[in-house]
Each structure stands twice: as C-alpha cells, then as structure tokens.
Amino acid sequence: MKFQVLSLIQHAPHPLTGELVSPADRFADVVAVGEAAEALGYDAYAVGERHAGAFLSSGPAVVLGAIAARTTRIKLLTGVTVVAILDPVRVAEDFATLDQLSRGRLELVIGKGAEAGHFSLFGLDEERQWDLQREKYELLRRLWSEENVDWHGEFRPPLKDVTTVPRPYAGPPRVWHGSATSLNSPELAARHGDPLFTANAIQPREAYAKLIAHYRERFEAYGHDPAKARVAAGSGGLLIADSAEQAVSRYRELYEAKVRQSFAPHLAGKAGYNTPFRTIEAAIGDGPQLIGSPQQIIDKILGYHQLYGHDLQSVTVDGFGLGRGEQIETLQRFAEEIAPVVRREAPSSLWE
C-alpha cells in the first residue's frame, strides 16, 4: 500500500471555538504539512479544487507549485481537478508547468467535483456535466501526448496546429479518474485504461465497491490487461487515539460538531454530499472515517483493501479543525504505527 495526504484547504470557523485563521496562515499550514508529509515518508500529497463554499482550493496548481519548491521526492496529485469546468488548453499548460517544476512528480486526478454550483459559476450547464467531462478530458489527453493538434468539439472553439507549452517533463502524466456516485467516471477511466480514485468519503463502502467492480469489469472489456487496473481510495478524515474509548471521548464533540457544520440542507438526500454517519460511533463502526486506535485504523484500511483491492490510501488530517502541530503529530503517528503494518500486509508496486 502507498499513502497520500489530501487537503481540500477547508477554511471554515473551528467547529467548537469559532476561530477562523487568515487565508495566508491557512496556506502556510498546507505547505508546511506537505513538507512534513515528505519527511515522514508519505508517497504523495494532493490538493483539491473547489470554487465556492468554505474552501481556499480554487488554484491547486499554485499551491502544489509552492509545495514542489519545498520538496524533492513526494508525488504531487490533485484531488480532484474539475476538468469539466476548465479549458483543457489551460489545464495542459498549468499542470505541465508544475510537472516540469517538480521534475515529473505530477499526477492528475480528474472528476466533476463534490460541489453543487460550480458549473453555473463558469457559465456551463450542469445537465451536460458528463459530456463536458468526457470531451475536455479527451482533448487534454491529445494535448499532452501529441503536437500540432487539430481538434473540433462542442464545448470550446476549434484548435488548429496547436502544441501546448511547456510539454510534460517525461511524457504525459498519469491521470486518475475520481469516482464518487456515478458510473460515468469508472466507465471513462476503463475506456482509456486509466486508474480509478474512489472518493470513499461519505457513503457506505458498498456504494464505492459497486463503482470499482464496474470499473474492473469494463477495464477488461475494453481490452486492457486487468492486472493494470489501479485503484486508490480516499477516507473521511483521520483521528488517532490510544484506544477506541479514548477516541470516542476525545473526538465525539469535535466530530459531531463538524458534521453539523458541514450539513448542506439543500443537498439532503443527494448521494455524496452529506454523511449519513452523524455520530462518532457510526463513523468508527461503519463510516469511511479513520477514527480510533492504531489497530482499529489498520483493520479498517485492510477491510477496504479486501473489498477494493486498492494500491493507494489517501488520508486527510485538516478536515476537523486540528492545528498544524496536531496535524503533523497525527501524520507522524500514522506513519510510525499504522503505515508499516498496512504496507506489509497489502504490498503494492505502484510507483516502483
């Protein structure tokens, strides 16, 4: 198993104290945690993309560029790049620049994004989101793999003899497809022989397992070697304690206050937005959150692996209002007490 740290750069008042740090300090925390993740042996660091709400992640390429300048080894991923709302020419240019700056450490994760409203913000029809996703991704593939591209599509002006610059560092970066609620992303990933990144963040695991099973079936149906069907999995946040009892007593108020703070009533009943695991006991027992003792978290990740067969596990430490020191302390404990066991029990050749 490989391990990634993901930040969506949430910028909401602390769920218990109401304190809100400045945007500059929030960005500084993200960069510092990225540096710490490399020092602690994590394999990748990812930054999400959001354009509304309590987030500061509208420019992930910029934030990852700052992290690239302060690291030398760790892979740099997005989580996700909402290619459906963006110009593929701009995506090709921005992320190839990051790929050059990091000397080939970039991998893109694309998806429609877990946010209602960003399509209207960019003047696009949300009803066409999957058509937008497919067309824009397929153009991005060509821009990264070909020069002198001639192209005509539905959602942007035609291109004639276009070569985007800079070119990627060492050929087109790997592109993962973020998958949360729809079969469209697994289908697109399978068609192109790309890896799948399951959100594994809100819903019961059976919902994600269904999408992964579809991906693997279609991957082989499209003629790709099933052994090359890579899968990664997110998680709904990481909180470590010495025991199950301590996890409940220490984090109950924090976890349940964050659930209340994050609830979006206008999206009630829509899969992938509001967690059904509203108590900490539900989150520990059945939710995708990694909360509990080291052994509980090991068992949960290995349970995911048994169901998903995944190569990469993503963790998030800044979603519950922990300060920078607490985030790094949590990552250190995970790296020392949890990751070595999971790496041994579920080895992966990804990035080797």
Q: What's residue 15's pLDDT?
A: 95
Cα–Cα distance measured from residue 285 to residue 72, given in angstroms and rounded to the nearest whole number: 38
Rounded to the nearest 10°, the torsion over CA 95, 224, 215, 317 is -40
What's the whole-model pTM score?
0.96
Cα–Cα distance measured from residue 92 to residue 103, given in angstroms and rounded to the nearest whole number: 16
- Structural domain of 290: 2-345
User: What are 218's two structure tokens?
Assistant: 């279609």
Cα–Cα distance measured from residue 333 to residue 94, given in angstroms and rounded to the nearest whole number: 35
312 strand-pairing partners? 2, 232
Cα-flanking dihedrals φ and ψ of residue 118, to 5°? -75, -20
In the chain, how long is the greatest CA-to-CA distance?
63
Cα–Cα distance measured from residue 317 to residue 289, given in angstroms and rounded to the nearest whole number: 11
Is the distance from CB of 58 to CB of 51 less than 8 angstroms? yes
Q: What's residue 53's pLDDT?
A: 87
Amino acid at 82: V
Per-residue pLDDT of the chain (352 residues; tens, 9 = 90+): 999 999 999 999 999 999 999 999 999 999 999 999 999 999 999 999 999 889 999 999 999 999 999 999 999 999 999 999 999 999 999 999 999 999 999 999 999 887 767 899 999 999 999 999 999 999 999 999 999 999 999 999 999 999 999 999 999 999 999 999 999 999 999 999 999 999 999 899 999 999 999 999 999 999 999 999 999 999 999 999 999 999 999 999 999 999 999 887 777 777 777 788 999 999 999 999 999 999 999 999 999 999 999 999 999 999 999 999 999 999 999 999 999 999 999 999 999 9
Q: What's residue 284's pLDDT?
A: 95
User: What are 157's two structure tokens?
Assistant: 């002006």
Q: Specify if 350 maps to a domain.
A: no
Domains in the chain, number: 1
Local structure of residue 230 (DSSP, 8 states): -
Q: What's residue 70's pLDDT?
A: 98
Q: Specify if 245 maps to a domain.
A: yes
Q: Specify if 352 maps to a domain.
A: no
Q: State the CATH number of the domain containing residue 214.
A: 3.20.20.30
Q: Specify if 351 maps to a domain.
A: no
